[in-house]
Structure 1
Amino acid sequence: MTPPPARHAPRWFVAGDFNGFFGLLVDNLSILGFIAMALVGIYGVPAEVVFTRMFPGTALGVLLGNLAYTWMARRLARRTGRDDVTAMPLGLDAPTSIGMALLVLGPAFAAFRADGLDDQAAAIATWQLGMAALVVMGLLKTVLSFAGDWITRALPRAALLGSIGGAALALLGFLPLVELLRNPVVGLVTFGLLLYVLVARGALPLRIPGVLLAFLVGTALYYGLGLAGLGVPGFAVPEPVRLSPQLPLLGIGFLEGLPSTVPYLPLLLPFGLLMVVGGINVSESARAAGDDYRTRDVLLVEALSTLVAGVCGGVAQTTPYIGQPAYKQMGARSGYTLLTGLFVGIGGMLGIVAGLVQWLPLAVLAPIIVYVGIGITVQAFHATPARHAPAVALAFLPSLAYLLSIKLGNPAWIAPERFAALYADTGAHGLPELAALVTLGNGFIITAMLWATLLVAMIEGRMRAAAGVLLLCAVLTLFGVIHSVDPRGGIYLPWTLEGLRAVIAWQFAGAYGALALLVGALSLQRGQAQPSPSPDRI
């Protein structure tokens, strides 16, 4: 029976909200920290522009999105009469924020300087480009939001959770794990303390939120060891940038940046599409954890908060985080998103967030992200029928290719000229190994969803459906939606490809087509069963 409506409004705060607040806050601060590190440290963008122009509008998107998700959680709690409803966590998206910094904003700043602009003028032009890019992605996400409910009905849970579980394991688990191990004393102590309080549910001698305690211990270790000369090489106390309060600038400044977005559309449009797919996945993840939010509402909130952030000066898109079950396990309800939104939004305008970003060590920020990644990966298996577990595991593999592409594409590891040579080196036989790796990683979330859907259809004996998925893979491959042969992951028209890239695209598409014909032929066998869809569908 459906629980009766709650007689009393749900509480604004419970004890778990404070753990959730510090966890979600750290997630957002870590991404802001990376953006600042990449733009200021790698490309030389003036810090004043990053902190006082890009950050306030970006923080406003986090504020608006979290306020909306808080309201949605309280509405669901009142409607169902439950007091254990956990709000969807919203923050800055890690993969696309990294992509914006390294593939769009940083190179654009370098290009503007090459065109003769001084640093300040180039930084302003880069900021306007970032605003316009966010508006483009926000509009795309708004349009696609209305297809969310249909997609959740059409795809099996293994595809939805497996694809996001792979991203969690590779990008939220492994990458931050490497970063925390670069400062092992600080990183491992912080991580171990988090595992003790959040996974093992261990008791603490002090009545203090476990995440906050781990945060304080890690930060104290970092600066204590560093100042004592016992820290890792390269330790230095940051020189704070002088900041002043700065409100988001509502206006039409993004219009000046629109023409500059055209060369970057092959990157920006997949970034927006990736967030729609991710939003669908996290809605399914929350539903599997017991909180039935409407997918369209979840998608519209992230789309509109991204759009408003872009109009007001932001440069990184917001997204519902894939860790809602992990926050639910912490005991968080709706107060943690309210606290996070207010802190990041108001703190971003007052310069508080920028000040924190300058002082927080990455070895302390990374462990909480690893924990969230572990929780999502585990849930992908727990919430999926046991016979579909191979499809979940299969969905993890494209994420691993994307992980390797990120590392190998780092100019500090492999010079761009050497990377291009390896990408084109066919060797004795077959396609270039690096090209195959990059091609598999490009569009990895959509690839993972399609692969898992294919395998679920085969497991259920629906071979014609499996053949249809394969044909769809072939078509999407030709246009670069999955398996893009552009090393940056851009989309294109297949007839514009030349040379090795054309060969790779047609080989991948041909492989899907050939397998579709084989699977289609197998479906014609006499007595071929066509079982009903699995009950895991929504």
Structure 2
Amino acid sequence: MTSTIATRRFNSGDVNGFLGLVVDNLSILAFIAGALIGIFQFPAEIVFQRMFPGTAFGVLVGNAIYTWMARRLARREGREDVTAMPLGLDAPTSIGMALLVLGPAFVSYKQAGLDEHAAAIATWQLGMASLVVMGVLKFVLSFFGAAVQRHVPRAGLLGSIAGIALVLMGFLPLVEILRVPVVGLAGLGIVLYALVARGRLPFGLPGVLVAVLVGALLYFGLGPTGALGSGYQPPGAWQWRFALPWPNLGFLDGLPLAVPYLPLLLPFGLLMVVGGINVNESARAAGDDYPTRDILLTEAFSTLVAGVCGGVAQTTPYIGQPAYKAMGARSAYTLATGLFIGLGGVFGYVSNLVELLPLAILAPILVFVAISITTQAFEATPQRYAAAVVFSFFPPIARLLAIKLGDPNVVAPDRFGTLMTQAGHGLPELAVLVALGNGFIITSMIWASFVVALIDARLRHAAAIVLLGAALSAFGIIHSVEPSGGIYLPWTLGGSAADVAWQFTAAYVVLAVLIGALSLRRDAAPKSAEPR
């Protein structure tokens, strides 16, 4: 009975855990809102009153289940030091959803003739459908997650997600930090000191909280004086927004719209399953042995609930369970976080906080997470596979460039179309960037897996991987020649698009033949295959 009561008490460790987990989720919600509203001019009302309530409700559901699992484990083992698995919005895929799916879809729907409101509703339904698709995939893979982990090299899995982290989750928020450098760099410095260098802050305060407080003091203290220039925007009036995340069938209308984005959505779901396995292993190493399938099923269930209730960002167990355990957090912090975020989506105070706190204040935690994920890709992968991890970064870089060049404020749409087909030496450069960036997650996994197979002297396996790349390229699952990244039947293409698609596909086939021929040599094993 004592251990049961202890797990219900809200102690100082739970306070630290609560603050860190809440700020993590607020940072991601702020980036989603900032990207959709600021970059793509998406209607704020749809973001805050249609997307946020369901998204936040998924966080509540998942954290409530993880809290119950922790208390059950504490009762079963008679321990007081069980720490619940933290759950929140997944940063890389949430940012990817905003920048690669929802924002571009909204723009394309408006270009197709829909008015702003109709385009926003269609985009919202696409987001709902995307979450349902990922939730179903995660539910199925929950029973086969370990098999997926065995067949895809760690360099491919971690390298692909590290590419997202480094380029989309790290670099883009860093740009937002430096748009208000006096505020952003101060917060980033505190985060790096506390979380990377593991320096101790006064009174043992969590680094994330101190970074947000310092950033807010600088922003609201210096902003009205004009010291921040145009970087300061006076806060608007606090708005009462009440929206219940009722289940609805809007995702059914969004399912056909989600088909072109499957090359992005399926890897998003796959990576979360493998990531959930890795996270649970780290919790087991820290002393809390949760059933892996239960952790994964909870993740899938909360994502499905969010999607059916209007959410657009998937949930995932967070990497830092041992860190929360070291803080002294137990099980109250996850329940408190779920209630704060979930009710905040209903009553609107989460959206008000997102509007009140600019990205320059919240983005440092995203940069830290990007650094952590990228670092983990190298630390958790054998050193001899480092080249495979690095090679997997190139497709995300191409995607970043394509996003920036596709911004009508950077390159006019008619000029963009001209550059996509402009003749010259070789294929048009912009067409290559777009094709390399489309389907970049799967491309990164294939490229890294190919290099791993080469290093391990499994040349026939490497040739088979490249042939898979050829098949996927032919249908636009990777290297789609459509600017939107849509898939297609190769024989329906014409003009320069058909030329780009054919040459990418043929390149993979030729490479597979060459590697297959090399595998016939008796001395085919490279020296790098030897352990170092």
Do the aligned partners of 1:145 and 1:276 also contact (CA within 8 Å) in 2?
no
Q: CA deviation at 1:463?
A: 0.9
2:396 to 386, 394, 399: 399
Equivalent position of 1:360 in the other structure: 357
Q: 1:161 to 1:137 in 2, by over 3 A?
A: closer
Q: 1:201 to 1:324 in 2, by over 3 A?
A: closer
Aligned CA-pair RMSD: 3.4
Do the aligned partners of 1:65 and 1:301 also contact (CA within 8 Å) in 2?
yes
2:504 to 496, 508, 520: 508
Q: 1:42 to 1:408 in 2, by over 3 A?
A: closer
Give CA-to-partner distance per residue, 1:358-411, whole Å, 9 cap, x none: 101110111010011111111111111121121122122222222222222222
1:166 maps onto 2:166 in alignment: no
2:438 to 436, 442, 455: 442
Do the aligned partners of 1:480 and 1:492 also contact (CA within 8 Å) in 2?
yes
Letter in 1 for 2:175: V
Equivalent position of 2:467 in the other structure: 471
Letter in 2 for 1:506: W
Give CA-to-partner distance per residue, 1:23-72, whole Å, 9 cap, x none: 44333323333443455556666544432333211211122223344455
Q: 1:85 to 1:484 in 2, by over 3 A?
A: farther
Equivalent position of 1:408 in the other structure: 405
1:384 maps onto 2:381 in alignment: yes
Equivalent position of 2:58 in the other structure: 61
Q: 1:126 to 1:402 in 2, by over 3 A?
A: closer
Q: 1:329 to 1:383 in 2, by over 3 A?
A: farther
Aligned pairs for 1:298-337 (under 5 A) are 298-314=295-311, 316-320=312-316, 323-324=319-320, 331=327, 335=331, 336-337=333-334
Letter in 2 for 1:521: A
Do the aligned partners of 1:326 and 1:372 also contact (CA within 8 Å) in 2?
no
Q: CA deviation at 1:469?
A: 0.7
1:496 to 492, 504, 520: 492
Q: 1:386 to 1:29 in 2, by over 3 A?
A: same
Do the aligned partners of 1:90 and 1:321 also contact (CA within 8 Å) in 2?
yes
Equivalent position of 1:87 in the other structure: 85
Q: CA deviation at 1:417?
A: 1.8
Q: Distance in 1 between matches of 2:114 and 2:16?
A: 44
Aligned pairs for 1:17-28 (under 5 A) are 18-28=15-25
Q: Distance in 1 between matches of 2:135 and 2:282?
A: 28
| Most deviating of 22-31 and 389-398 | 22-31
Q: 1:310 to 1:127 in 2, by over 3 A?
A: same
Equivalent position of 1:201 in the other structure: 198
Q: Distance in 2 between matches of 1:156 and 1:211?
A: 33
SS at match of 2:214: helix
Aligned pairs for 1:25-424 (under 5 A) are 25-40=22-37, 47-71=44-68, 87=85, 89-92=87-90, 93-105=94-106, 107-108=108-109, 114=115, 127-128=124-125, 130-143=127-140, 145-240=142-237, 242-252=239-249, 254=250, 258-259=252-253, 261-267=255-261, 269-283=262-276, 285-286=278-279, 289=282, 291=284, 297-314=294-311, 316-320=312-316, 323-324=319-320, 331=327, 335=331, 336-424=333-421
SS at match of 2:393: helix
Q: CA deviation at 1:431?
A: 0.9
Q: 1:23 to 1:109 in 2, by over 3 A?
A: farther
Q: Distance in 2 between matches of 1:79 and 1:479?
A: 52
Do the aligned partners of 1:467 and 1:519 also contact (CA within 8 Å) in 2?
yes
Q: Distance in 2 between matches of 1:204 and 1:260?
A: 47
Do the aligned partners of 1:141 and 1:273 also contact (CA within 8 Å) in 2?
no
Equivalent position of 1:432 in the other structure: 428
Q: Distance in 2 between matches of 1:210 and 1:129?
A: 36
Q: 1:524 to 1:17 in 2, by over 3 A?
A: farther
Structure 1 unaligned blocks of 5 or more? 1-6
Q: Distance in 1 between matches of 2:480 and 2:118?
A: 34
| Most deviating of 73-82 and 143-152 | 73-82
Q: 1:375 to 1:128 in 2, by over 3 A?
A: closer
Equivalent position of 1:3 in the other structure: none
Q: CA deviation at 1:354?
A: 1.4
Do the aligned partners of 2:474 and 2:490 also contact (CA within 8 Å) in 1?
yes
| Most deviating of 321-330 and 388-397 | 321-330
Do the aligned partners of 2:30 and 2:362 also contact (CA within 8 Å) in 1?
no
| Most deviating of 269-278 and 459-468 | 269-278
Do the aligned partners of 2:282 and 2:322 also contact (CA within 8 Å) in 1?
no
SS at match of 1:206: helix
SS at match of 2:229: coil
Q: Distance in 2 between matches of 1:481 and 1:212?
A: 42
Q: CA deviation at 1:90?
A: 2.6
| Most deviating of 489-498 and 360-369 | 489-498
Equivalent position of 2:450 in the other structure: 454
SS at match of 1:430: coil
Do the aligned partners of 1:158 and 1:452 also contact (CA within 8 Å) in 2?
yes
Do the aligned partners of 1:187 and 1:367 also contact (CA within 8 Å) in 2?
yes
Do the aligned partners of 2:466 and 2:509 also contact (CA within 8 Å) in 1?
yes
Do the aligned partners of 1:149 and 1:294 also contact (CA within 8 Å) in 2?
no
Do the aligned partners of 1:147 and 1:296 also contact (CA within 8 Å) in 2?
no
Q: CA deviation at 1:353?
A: 0.6
Q: 1:463 to 1:365 in 2, by over 3 A?
A: same
Structure 2 unaligned blocks of 5 or more? none
Q: 1:200 to 1:234 in 2, by over 3 A?
A: closer
Q: CA deviation at 1:150?
A: 1.9
Do the aligned partners of 2:283 and 2:322 also contact (CA within 8 Å) in 1?
no
SS at match of 2:230: coil
| Most deviating of 322-331 and 515-524 | 322-331
Q: Distance in 1 between matches of 2:326 and 2:167?
A: 22
Letter in 1 for 2:269: V
Q: 1:373 to 1:415 in 2, by over 3 A?
A: same
| Most deviating of 136-145 and 430-439 | 136-145
Q: Distance in 2 between matches of 1:79 and 1:471?
A: 50
Q: Distance in 1 between matches of 2:247 and 2:218?
A: 41
Letter in 1 for 2:275: V
Q: Distance in 2 between matches of 1:329 and 1:503?
A: 55
TM-score normalised per structure 1 = 0.85
SS at match of 1:233: helix
Equivalent position of 2:480 in the other structure: 484
Give CA-to-partner distance per residue, 1:120-165, whole Å, 9 cap, x none: 6776566455444544454454445544332101122222222222
Q: 1:275 to 1:527 in 2, by over 3 A?
A: same
Q: 1:42 to 1:33 in 2, by over 3 A?
A: same
